[in-house]
Amino acid sequence: MNLNNIHNVYFIGIGGIGMSALARYFQYVGKSVAGYDKTETPLTRKLTENGIGVHYQDDLKKIPTKFLRPEDTLVVYTPAVPDTHTEYQYFLQNGFAIKKRSEVLGLITEDSFCFAVAGTHGKTTTSSILAHLLKETGTPLMAFLGGISEDFNSNFLLEGTEYSVVEADEFDRSFLRLSPNVACITSMDADHLDIYGNSEELKKSFLEFVDRLKPGGTLLVRKGLPLEGITYGIEDDSDYCIRNIKIEQGAYIFDLGTPETVLEGVKFNKPGRHNLLNGLVAFAMAMHAGSPPHRLAQALESFKGVQRRFSYKIKTDDLIFIDDYAHHPKEIDAVYEAILEMHPQKKVLAVFQPHLFSRTRDFGDDFAKSLSRFDNVLLLEIYPAREEPLDGITSEWLLEKMTNPNKKSIKKDEIIREIKAQDPELLVTMGAGDIGLEIQKIKEHLDYAH
């Protein structure tokens, strides 16, 4: 498909984090852009402010007429859209070019030098760090991110089109649409078993992704994964390795070894060993754009972060409030360990919103074990996203599995009251659903209380 022949791009599910980044791209390159989403969110409001038409009813009459021309309109949809969707069915039956987000991302990036970040955890943080490093070292790039970077206050960056940074998403096998020059794999833990059935099938798809590398392409893998590639790790014999870690005023100071040199006294401000690894592989990838190591080390220090990725919302002597997107047991463990490392004496109240009935069912025991490590836990109802309820799979079911007696199942409108009643030293909110929309309200109430 030649995107030059397309004048109008219509999105079904325009409010998704990945979809809205594509919408911004097409607006930047001069296309007419509009779309539908189920609910209004800060992301859709931002699109509207930027002149992109968004409506919230599945109704053909709401679609501007120029987007109803099949000859020069591209329709982009998210896999979360049901087959019964009226607009989707109309486009399907009337000869429109219809593509998934992942296919369009593949088309946009195929002629660029493409950096693709894959893995069941860490994609958004790693790709955001990489985009920041490349921008700071003057690389002409475009970046499509799965979160809002605090460095450019957006999920999209356009500084040129020679290089691209994308998240290679394993959900729905989306990453098999990409053809990267440099790719990394951060992790291959079981997830999305509603798509794959079992962890072996998931691993197979990662191997297929590796085969998508362009001829002469480079693969970086976290040390210990069952893949051949340039390795990265902490305190081991990896090709790129972090050693001699110290913590000073909430930041990491360390030595960074590359195959050619050792950089001493490198500083990184995001807590958590998982974030150190994300920073390290982003650094290693950026070196393949020819960026000088000492400049990259300076840029690593100035990285601010990604919204909802171990984000400090309040940080005072008597209260710390951290918000994180963690929605898998391994991610919850990573958050717990980062808190333990940075704030070892604090008693922690965790508020968690499970994401997807299938994921809660598939990892129920692991979720219970990970959540039971916190001092106190408030458990919200399961966020369904694209799913219908599963018989017997509820927050109460998960709560029963937890061994920690300091636990309680609550509704969303009870969050603030319950947090205030517990008066925590350290509060952490976690989840990939709409808990993110509650964070500002929680912060305002706690700020006022303190």
Among candidates 47, 51, 48, which has minimal Cα distance to 22? 47
CB 313 within 8 A of CB 281: no
pTM of the complete model:
0.90
CA–CA distance, 281 with 117 (Å, rounded to integer):
9
Number of Cβ within 10 Å of residue 413's Cβ equals 8
Signed CA dihedral, 16, 188, 165, 436: sign only: positive
β-strand pairing of 311-315 with 320-324:
antiparallel
Q: Which residue in the block uniquely carries the two structure tokens 């206050």?
A: 153
CA–CA distance, 275 with 151 (Å, rounded to integer):
16
CA–CA distance, 180 with 326 (Å, rounded to integer):
27
Q: Tell me if domain 3-101 and domain 110-302 are identical in fold.
A: no
Q: Which residue in the block uniquely carries the two structure tokens 């980062």?
A: 338
Q: Listing from the earlier edge strand, what are the strands of the sheet with 73-77?
A: 53-55, 32-36, 8-12, 73-77, 97-100
Give the DSSP letter string of 247-280.
EETTEEEEEEE-SS-EEEEEEE-S-SHHHHHHHH
DSSP SS3 for 329: helix
Residues 6+ apart with CB under 8 A from 204: none
Whole-Å CA distances, 305 to 56, 126, 276, 413: 31, 10, 12, 29
**Tens place of pLDDT per residue across the chain (450 aa):** 788 889 999 999 999 999 999 999 999 999 999 999 999 988 999 999 999 999 999 999 999 999 999 999 999 998 888 899 999 999 999 999 999 988 999 999 999 999 999 998 899 999 999 999 999 999 999 999 999 999 999 999 999 999 999 998 876 777 888 999 999 999 887 665 566 566 777 788 889 999 999 999 999 999 999 999 999 999 999 999 999 999 998 899 999 999 999 999 999 999 999 999 999 999 999 999 899 999 999 999 999 999 999 999 999 989 999 999 999 999 999 999 999 999 999 999 999 999 999 999 999 999 999 999 999 999 999 999 878 999 999 999 999 999 999 999 999 999 999 999 999 999 999 999 999 999 999 999 998 765
Number of Cβ within 10 Å of residue 448's Cβ equals 7
- Choosing among 3.30.70.1350, 3.20.110.20, 3.40.50.300, 3.40.50.720, the CATH entry for 3-101 is 3.40.50.720
Q: Which residue in the block uniquely carries the two structure tokens 């300091």?
A: 406
Phi/psi at 163 (5° precision): -120, 150
Number of Cβ within 10 Å of residue 74's Cβ equals 24
Residues 6+ apart with CB under 8 A from 77: 11, 12, 13, 88, 98, 99, 100, 101
CATH code for the part of the protein at 311-449: 3.90.190.20
Domain boundary assignment for the chain: 3-101, 110-302, 311-449
CA–CA distance, 222 with 228 (Å, rounded to integer):
10
CB 3 within 8 A of CB 108: yes
Describe the chain by its helix, strand, coil percentages, rounded to 5.
40, 25, 35
CATH architecture of 110-302: 3-Layer(aba) Sandwich (3.40)
DSSP SS3 for 394: coil
Among candidates 352, 341, 372, which has minimal Cα distance to 436? 352
Residues 6+ apart with CB under 8 A from 145: 17, 21, 124, 127, 128, 131, 154, 155, 156, 157, 165, 167, 306
